[in-house]
Amino acid sequence: MTSSTTPGDRMRRFPKIKGVEPAVLIAFGCILLLLVVGAIYSRNFLSATYLLQQLKVASFLGVIATGTMMVILLGQIDLSVPWVVTAGAMMACAAASFGPVGVALAVPVGILCGALIGLVNGFATAYLRIPSMIVTLATNAVTQGLMVVYTGGFSPQDSATPAMRWLATGEAIPVVPNGVLVWALIAVATVFLLNRTTFGRSIYAIGNRERAAFLSGINTRRIVMLTFVLAGALSAFGGVLLAGYASKAAQSMGDAYLLPAIAAVVLGGTHVLGGRGSYLGTVAGVVLITLLQSILSVMQIEEAGRQLIFGVVIVAMLLLYGRQKSA
């Protein structure tokens, strides 16, 4: 049975969102439910101060999850997030120890380190045709080894720069944390990129069917590689913000962000096999995961239990959405 639509027509159709998808509505419904549950456990849970603090914490995950979403839209996966986050934080702090020039270049240096790791991931995935799961897992291990060698196995002694601390904890607009503003700017840029540019439409097309995208004239290898570069840069930038929030980098500071980032993207309705998803859903997923983490912390559930819950959430979403691609 043939179709009258061309690969180009399908490519243009995928990024357009005619309405809010059910998964996004479910995510926002779960957010409201968590707010009610949190209010039951603590009277301060719904206070403006506490909610702004949670939004600040969510902004760091939101920046990291943005890159994760782009990679998943391709139908790929990035498992190098933990140590790309850590490397971005460590290298930004390390640059600050080289005097005024280093302080000025600290943030760009951290982001550049993540972009370079993303370049390796993207080149190996797109041009060498190595499965992204294998490549990113390997680069994560290699980056971990390099950072351990650099620090001698101890937490680095370098501190975050004033600019890093201001980006993460300052308030250019009274009451609103700068981290939230940074995430908002990245969100606007991401929505524009995915919905209004050829690059964004190409990401959706590749995730839907890479061969069809290639036959329609898209340079699929270049798009895949550049997407991994963006994902690496965003993960490293998330690490820079985390270092600014904590005033320094730490070993394994990115380990807690791999499963939450993937869970946030999947909870927001992004198709785990690529080609479908909206950034609004990712925003809802990030807020949902942050509130869930907060409630689990209030309930004194250990980290192992939290990771178990995130894993169950991802598997559940795979069962719910994993077969929609063939429909």
DSSP sequence for 124-180 = HHHTS---HHHHHHHHHHHHHHHHHHHHTTS----B--HHHHHHHH--SBTTB-HHH
Could you count the other beta carbons within 10 Å of the beta carbon of residue 57? Answer: 20
pLDDT of residue 132: 95
Residue pair 56/179 in contact (Cβ under 8 Å)? The answer is yes
The number of residues in the chain equals 327
Can you tell me whether residue 187 is helix, strand or coil? helix
Distance CA 267, CA 314 (A): 8
Phi, psi of 249 (to 5 degrees): -90, 160
Instruction: State residue 317's pLDDT score.
Output: 67
Is the pLDDT confidence value at 325 over 60?
Answer: no
pLDDT at residue 323 tops 60: no
Residue of higher predicted confidence among 135 and 325: 135
**Is the per-residue pLDDT at 6 higher than 60?**
no
Tell me the domains of the chain and their CATH numbers: 23-321 (1.10.3470)
Q: In this predicted model, which residue has the larger pLDDT, 128 or 301?
A: 128
Cα 187 from Cα 205, distance rounded (Å): 21
Written as six digits, the tokens of 167 are: 């980006």
What pTM, to 2 d.p., does this model score?
0.88
Q: How confident is the model at residue 7 (pLDDT cuts 50, 70, 90)?
A: very low
Average pLDDT estimate for 244-272 = 89
pLDDT the model gives residue 42:
77
pLDDT of residue 251: 85
State residue 166's pLDDT score.
94
Tokens coding 76: 């790929």
Q: Read off the pLDDT of each residue in 62-70 and give the average, rounded to a whole number.
A: 96
Q: Is residue 118 pLDDT above 60, yes or no?
A: yes
What's phi and psi for 232, nearest 5 deg? Answer: -65, -40
Q: What pLDDT is stored for residue 225 in this prediction?
A: 97
Question: Could you give the percent of the chain with pLDDT greater than 90?
Answer: 55
* Burial group, residue 240, by CB count within 10 angstroms (0-12, 13-18, 19+): buried
- pLDDT over 70 (residue 17): no
pLDDT band with cut points at 50, 70 and 90 for residue 115: very high
User: Given CA atoms 110, 115, 117, 118 in this order, what sign does their dihedral have?
Assistant: positive
The label of the residue with tokens 């499965």 reads 131
pLDDT value at position 303? 75
Nearest in space to 92 (alpha carbons), one of 167, 29, 23, 21: 167
Contact 276, 207 (CB under 8 A): yes
- Amino acid at position 86, single letter: T
Most confident of 20-34, 53-67, 309-323: 53-67
What is the per-residue DSSP string for 22-37? HHHHHHHHHHHHHHHH
Contact between 191 and 16 under an 8 Å Cβ cutoff? The reply is no
DSSP labels, 217-259: T--HHHHHHHHHHHHHHHHHHHHHHHHHHHTB--TTTTGGGHH
Q: Express each pLDDT in 208-240 by its tens digit.
A: 999 999 999 999 999 999 999 999 999 999 999
Q: At what angle do helices 198-208 and 220-246 cross, to 10 degrees?
A: 110
In whole angstroms, give the CA distance from residue 242 to residue 93: 11
Question: How much of the chain, in percent, has pLDDT values that exceed 70?
Answer: 90
The per-residue pLDDT for 221 is 96
∠ CA 200-116-60, nearest 5°, is: 65
Task: Give pLDDT, residue 321.
Answer: 58
